[in-house]
Chains A and B, each alone.
Chain A
Amino acid sequence: MNKPLKQIHLAAHFPGVNNTTVWSDPKAGSHIEFSSFVHFAQTAERAKFDFLFLAEGLRLREQGGKIYDLDVVGRPDTFTVLAALAAVTEHLGLTGTINSTFNEPYEVARQFASLDHLSGGRSAWNVVTSWDAFTGENFRRGGFLPQEDRYSRAKEFLATANELFDSWHGDEIVADNATGVFLRDAKAGSFVHEGQHFDIHGQFDVPRSPQGRPVIFQAGDSEEGREFAASSADAIFSRYASLKEGQAFYTDVKNRLAKYGRSHRDLLILPAATFVLADTDAQAEELAKEVRRQQVSGATALKHLEFVWNRDLSAYDPEGPLPDIDPDVSDNHISKGRAQVRMYRDPLATAREWRELAAANNWSIRDLVINTGNRQTFVGSPATVARTINDFVQADVSDGFILVPHITPGGLDPFADKVVPLLQEQGVFRTDYEGTTLRDHLGLAHPDDARGERVAS
Chain B
Amino acid sequence: MSSTPPPLHLAVALEGTGWHPASWRDQAARPRDLFTAAHWADLVAEAERGLLDFVTFEDGLGLQSSHYGELDGRTDQVRGRLDAVLTASRIAPLTRHIGLVPTVIATHTEPFHISKAIATLDYVSTGRAGLRVQISARPHEAAHFGRRTFAPISLEELKTAAGQERLTDLFDEAADYVEVVRRLWDSWEDDAEIRDVVSGRFVDRDKLHYIDFEGKRFSVKGPSITPRPPQGQPLVTALAHQTVPYRLVARQADVGYVTPHDAEQARAIVAEIRAEQEAAGRAGELLHVFGDLVVFLDDEQAAAQDRRARLDALAGEPYTSDARIFTGTPAQLADFLQELAAQGLSGFRLRPAVAGHDLPAITRGLVPELQRRGAFRTAYEADTLRGLLGLPRPANRYAATA
- A422 at interface, CB cutoff 8 A: no
Nearest-Cβ distance from residue B127 to partner chain A, whole angstroms: 11
* Interface residue stretch chosen among A63-71, A241-249, A260-268, A398-406: A63-71
* Interface residue stretch chosen among B212-220, B300-308, B352-360, B368-376: B212-220
- Knowing A60-B225, A139-B110, A182-B24 touch, does A118 contact B75 (C-beta < 8 A)? no
Task: Report the bound CA distance from A83 to B91 in whole Å.
Answer: 9
In the complex, chain B residues 103-158 whose Cβ is within 8 Å of any chain A Cβ? 108-110, 112-113, 116-117, 119-121, 123-124, 126, 140-141, 143-147
- List, in ascending order, chain A residues with CB within 8 A of B218's CB: 139-140, 142
- Asked if A80 and B24 sit within 8 Å, CB to CB, the answer is no
* Interface residue stretch chosen among B193-201, B248-256, B270-278, B387-395: B193-201
- Asked if A76 and B86 sit within 8 Å, CB to CB, the answer is no
- Asked if B226 and A74 sit within 8 Å, CB to CB, the answer is yes
Instruction: Give the interface size bracket for A toward B.
Output: 35 or more
In the complex, chain B residues 180-223 whose Cβ is within 8 Å of any chain A Cβ? 188, 193, 195, 197, 199-205, 208, 217-223
Task: Report the bound CA distance from A115 to B219 in whole Å.
Answer: 29
In the complex, chain A residues 138-156 whose Cβ is within 8 Å of any chain B Cβ? 138-142
- Asked if B63 and A58 sit within 8 Å, CB to CB, the answer is no
Instruction: Name the contact of A34 in the complex, choosing from B31, B93, B222, B227 (C-beta under 8 A).
Output: B93
- Asked if A76 and B120 sit within 8 Å, CB to CB, the answer is yes
- Asked if B79 and A188 sit within 8 Å, CB to CB, the answer is yes
Question: Per-residue 0/1 for A70-105: is the Cβ within 8 Å of any B Cβ (1 yes, 0 no)?
Answer: 111111110111011011100000000000001110
- Knowing A67-B208, A114-B82, A175-B24 touch, does A138 contact B222 (C-beta < 8 A)? yes
Task: Report the bound CA distance from A300 to B143 in whole Å.
Answer: 48
Instruction: Name the contact of A33 in the complex, choosing from B63, B93, B123, B141 (C-beta under 8 A).
Output: B123
- Asked if B25 and A180 sit within 8 Å, CB to CB, the answer is yes
- List, in ascending order, chain A residues with CB within 8 A of B203's CB: 67, 69, 73-74
Instruction: Give the interface size bracket for B toward A.
Output: 35 or more
- A57 at interface, CB cutoff 8 A: yes
- List, in ascending order, chain A residues with CB within 8 A of B108's CB: 104, 107
- List, in ascending order, chain B residues with CB within 8 A of A297's CB: 200
Nearest-Cβ distance from residue B314 to partner chain A, whole angstroms: 7
- List, in ascending order, chain B residues with CB within 8 A of A83's CB: 85-87, 89-90
Instruction: Name the contact of A32 in the complex, choosing from B80, B145, B226 (C-beta under 8 A).
Output: B226
- Asked if A207 and B80 sit within 8 Å, CB to CB, the answer is yes
- Asked if B188 and A74 sit within 8 Å, CB to CB, the answer is yes
Instruction: Name the contact of B119 in the complex, choosing from A59, A77, A110 (C-beta under 8 A).
Output: A77
Q: Which residue of A lies closest to B144 (CB)?
A: A106
- B81 at interface, CB cutoff 8 A: yes
- A183 at interface, CB cutoff 8 A: yes
In the complex, chain A residues 291-314 whose Cβ is within 8 Å of any chain B Cβ? 297-300
A contacts with B: majority SS: loop
* Interface residue stretch chosen among B32-40, B236-244, B324-332: B32-40
- Asked if A180 and B314 sit within 8 Å, CB to CB, the answer is yes
Q: Which residue of B lies closest to A102 (CB)?
A: B110
- List, in ascending order, chain B residues with CB within 8 A of A72's CB: 202
- B74 at interface, CB cutoff 8 A: yes
Nearest-Cβ distance from residue A184 to partner chain B, whole angstroms: 7
- B61 at interface, CB cutoff 8 A: yes
Task: Report the bound CA distance from A87 to B91 in whole Å.
Answer: 7
Instruction: Name the contact of B35 in the complex, choosing from A32, A79, A177, A207 (C-beta under 8 A).
Output: A207
Instruction: Name the contact of A87 in the complex, choosing from B73, B83, B92 (C-beta under 8 A).
Output: B92
- Asked if B314 and A118 sit within 8 Å, CB to CB, the answer is no
* Interface residue stretch chosen among A193-201, A321-329, A365-373, A382-390: A193-201
